[in-house]
Amino acid sequence: MYLLYHLFFLLLGGNAVLAQAPQEYNVIWTTQSKNTSESMPCGGGDIGLNVWVENGEVMVYGARSGSFNEDNALMKAGRIRIKLLPNPFEGTAIKQELHLQQGFVTIDGEHNGVKATLRIWVDVFEPVVHFEVTSSRKITVEATYESWRYQDRLIKARENFANSWKWAPPKNKIYPKDQISFNSGGVLFYHNNGERTIFDTTVSQQGLDGVKDQLYNPLKNLAFGGLLSGDKFIAAGENEGKYVNTDFKGWKLKSASPGRRHELIWVLHTIQANYFGEWHQSLKTILLKAKAKNAFANTQKWWKEFWGRSFIHLPSPDTASTSWKMGRNFQLFRYMLACNAHGVWPTKFNGGLLTVDPVFTDRSNELTPDYRNWGGGLHTAQNQRLVYFPMIKNGDWDLLKPQLDFYLRILKNAELRSKVYWDHGGASFTEQMENYGIPNYAEYGTRRPDNFDKGVEYNAWLEYEWDTVLEFCLMMLDEELYTGNDISSRLPFIESCIQFFYEHYAYEGRKRTARLFDDDGKLTFYPGSGAETFKMATNSTATLAALRVIINRMLALPAKYINTGKRNHYDSLLKRTPDISYATFNGHTTIAPAKSWERVNNTESPQLYPVFPWGIFGVGKPGLDTAINTWNHDTNVVKFRSHLGWKQDNIWAARLGLTNEAWRLTSLKLKDAERRFPAFWGPGFDWVPDHNWGGSGMIGLQEMLMQVDDERILLFPAWPKDKDVHFKLHAPYNTTVEAEYKNGKLESLKVFPEERRKDVEILLK
């Protein structure tokens, strides 16, 4: 039983100190790395870096959000190699540190009487990487820009899984070379997709040529590249070599004379440009801002505000303990997500901007550093949602914006799908969807029967799976609920997504029967899908739960958003929506994944989606016993349970108040990764670092500490009594809750604004 302690009995003695990212969470290495797999993340704005020291040289991979090539692969900017002469980094006295609170990396070394520090940081507001060297004696600095795209490269078969061709590429496909030269005072590198890309092939394949001119196309003439340069650095020649399994060519810069201070900048620039001059001119504009005197101070101010928004710390005198590592890794992963806080494009679940040479994830993939599994511009919404849901309770709405804006940009393309294929309204979003809003070329099916519905993917896993987009609708509605921000610009998107389901399943129903509604006046949602698992489903529970919650949330919006006509419309849709179905296992009533289905195709448990993300069942809500029965007795739910990758069992356990299981599964999620950097999890089912692994771990920890139900705020609904914690999280109605629980007692509680204190309930098992 839960014990409910009313807040007026609490002794609120002791002030909770504003905690940011404790210095003890800094990651410090005192030995060099063996290779890129032992790299450390660094980033900001929309740039991610992998930093490591190997054989006395500092190595850096860089990637900027949105750098998609003709085939829709997300390409790295290249590799930087920095060497100091004489070299303080080639000895044993070396320290590499991620300064978590400040968002930068330093490398300190001492050898043969020379001490030096290299500080690497990324401007949060401009796409500029800074390399700053200070030394005890005058030294020379060499910086080489290295590229494996210095020549056209024939793509190996598996390599296409990093782009949008996957298993169905044209023969002899190549990645065209970049243009690289000593230019503009440094090393200039540039790639332009030109007019024709995989977008054109995909549009033709899917019968959309008639509306092609109306379709949003982010790949056409997309140009990306940048400039490595430094004051008093000069060109020092070219070289060639091989790193890991990939040949490269290098363009070296060298300080014109020895000194105690040296600085280089690496500007990364991505826009749609019709010709080189247009891209180059806009690059020059960035260069003018790159050396602003207040750039570092402004970046530090941003990081301070970021860490002050929210946190979860699990203090322990033993930094090797499970709980301490969970708290530390929660913070490390949040930092990784912040490396794309200002990106135009969302952080990809399969590595974000922080992937490295693929052979260190899969030994069979001796491919270039551009490779990652499951595509670069391709979006798997089921995975992406787990990257973005934790940002809500963290208060990281600026980080969430790129994902929500992504959907707004592709809305028209999704609506045109519905119009072209079925002549009805609403936005049709599929799984394995391109960044231009239509299905992936290979997943759509290259060997489709002539009579197969052109709007449906000919794919056993993906067919009729439309409903994940509703989770992003939920995020949009949560923005209004949590912050009060005006979401008027998002409502047409949500309305269109709802419209699709009711118009499409009326369309499907009319093809099957002369009587559209059942005896209860309900619409039948067939054919549907329960995630990728319960296929050819009738009345999928995940779909119905989603629609009911989203429509009710629309009805609950303030009057300025919804008029009487729309209210009546949504009321009528709810009356036409079937109830979710139930099943029985050994006499126990459980939530069913659907009314019926034809096959089980994967290992997901959508029968628990009414628990998370939809929150119909949970702690303090009716039907909790039925949801717990589903957890305990549904044989598929039990069989599919895991902590790996995108599995979300830890979240369900927390939402159900199952403290021991929630702790067990979340601690497995957030334990140290098998790689040198503790939050580089994976590959799970995807890649390294696995961002949906980290995201689901974050959500689980948040839900163990705080759950919300409109105005209600439930604290510690699934928290072990013997675990100390200090956290600050965000709740609806512009509310923050900071609490410190120590030695079995609630030491302090701060609720802002104060009037929301009455809505807080403390639950301890």
**Residues 176-216: pLDDT tens digits?**
999 999 999 999 999 999 899 999 999 999 999 999 999 99
pLDDT at residue number 499: 98
pLDDT at residue number 755: 97
pLDDT > 70 fraction of the chain, expressed in percent and rounded: 97
Does pLDDT of 623 surpass 70?
yes
Q: What pLDDT, in 10s, does the model give residues 723-746?
A: 999 999 999 999 999 999 999 999
8 A C-beta contact, residue 165 and residue 144: no
Task: Give the span between the Cα atoms of 694 and 682, in whole angstroms.
Answer: 9
Strand ranges (DSSP E) for 151-197? 153-154, 174-175, 179-183, 186-192
Strand ranges (DSSP E) for 86-127? 93-99, 104-111, 114-122
Q: Per-residue pLDDT averaged across 351-369, rounded?
A: 97
What phi and psi, each to the nearest 5 degrees, are found at residue 230?
-160, 145
| Chain CA centroid to CA 124, Å | 18
378's enclosing H/E stretch is strand 378-379
Report how far apart, in Å, the C-alpha atoms of 194 and of each of 218, 270, 283, 518, 760 are.
12, 14, 18, 53, 57
Could you please report the per-residue DSSP string of 717-759?
TT--TT--EEEEEEETTTEEEEEEEETTEEEEEEEESGGGGGG
Task: Give the span between the Cα atoms of 728 and 738, in whole angstroms.
Answer: 4
Q: What pLDDT, in 10s, does the model give residues 635-668?
A: 999 999 999 999 999 999 999 999 999 999 999 9
Q: What pLDDT, in 10s, does the model give residues 547-578?
A: 999 999 999 999 999 999 999 999 999 999 99
Could you please report the per-residue DSSP string of 685-698?
TS-SSBHHHHHHHH
Closest to 384 (Cα-Cα) out of 353, 354, 333, 346: 346
Closest to 587 (Cα-Cα) out of 537, 613, 625: 625
Task: Give the span between the Cα atoms of 577 and 234, in whole angstroms.
Answer: 69
The alpha helices in 525-563, defined as continuous H runs, are: 541-555
pLDDT at residue number 699: 98
pLDDT at residue number 50: 98
Report how far apart, in Å, the C-alpha atoms of 752 and of each of 576, 709, 725 are.
41, 17, 19
Q: What pLDDT, in 10s, does the model give residues 31-65?
A: 999 999 999 999 999 999 999 999 999 999 999 99
Task: Give the span between the Cα atoms of 400 and 392, in whole angstroms.
Answer: 8
Task: Give the span between the Cα atoms of 100 and 103, in whole angstroms.
Answer: 5
Domains of the chain: 1-465+641-765 (2.70.98.50)
8 A C-beta contact, residue 374 and residue 166: no
Task: Give the span between the Cα atoms of 721 and 321, in whole angstroms.
Answer: 16
pLDDT at residue number 19: 52
Which position has the token pair 């540039």?
A: 190
Task: Give the span between the Cα atoms of 756 and 296, in whole angstroms.
Answer: 37
Residue 19 one-letter amino acid: A
Q: What pLDDT, in 10s, does the model give residues 7-29?
A: 333 333 333 344 566 789 999 99
Residues in the chain: 765
8 A C-beta contact, residue 594 and residue 601: no
Rg (CA), the chain: 27
Confidence of residue 764 (pLDDT cuts 50, 70, 90): confident
8 A C-beta contact, residue 401 and residue 408: no
8 A C-beta contact, residue 613 and residue 531: no
Residue 2, both tokens? 């839960």
Mean pLDDT over each residue of the chain, to the nearest integer: 96
pLDDT at residue number 21: 67
Strand ranges (DSSP E) for 396-445? 433-434
pLDDT at residue number 23: 83
Report how far apart, in Å, the C-alpha atoms of 571 and of each of 33, 39, 425, 482, 747 are.
61, 54, 19, 24, 46
Q: What pLDDT, in 10s, does the model give residues 362-377?
A: 999 999 999 999 999 9
| 475 Cβ neighbours under 8 A, 6+ residues apart | 388, 389, 392, 400, 403, 404
pLDDT at residue number 6: 35
pLDDT at residue number 765: 63
Confidence of residue 233 (pLDDT cuts 50, 70, 90): very high
Strand ranges (DSSP E) for 112-167? 114-122, 128-147, 153-154
Task: Give the span between the Cα atoms of 78 and 59, in whole angstroms.
Answer: 11
- Beta bridge partners, 121, equal 130
**What CA dihedral angle connects 522, 525, 526 and 532, to 10 degrees?**
-150
pLDDT at residue number 16: 38
CB atoms within 10 A of CB 278: 15
pLDDT at residue number 22: 75
Does pLDDT of 5 surpass 50?
no
472's enclosing H/E stretch is helix 469-483
pLDDT at residue number 14: 35
Q: Measured at the alpha carbon of residue 325, what is the angle toward residues 319 and 329, in degrees to the nearest 5? A: 135
Closest to 117 (Cα-Cα) out of 129, 130, 107, 102: 107
pTM for the model stands at 0.96
Closest to 253 (Cα-Cα) out of 98, 413, 141: 141
Angle, to 10 degrees, between the axis of helix 691-705 and the axis of helix 322-338?
A: 120
Percent of the chain that is helix, strand, coil (3-state, to 5): 30, 25, 40
8 A C-beta contact, residue 123 and residue 135: no
Closest to 370 (Cα-Cα) out of 572, 175, 625: 175
Does pLDDT of 316 surpass 50?
yes
Task: Give the span between the Cα atoms of 523 and 575, in whole angstroms.
Answer: 9
Q: What pLDDT, in 10s, does the model give residues 126-161?
A: 999 999 999 999 999 999 999 999 999 999 999 999
Does pLDDT of 242 surpass 80?
yes
| 281 Cβ neighbours under 8 A, 6+ residues apart | none
Q: Measured at the alpha carbon of residue 46, what is the angle toward residues 253 and 28, in degrees to the nearest 5? A: 70
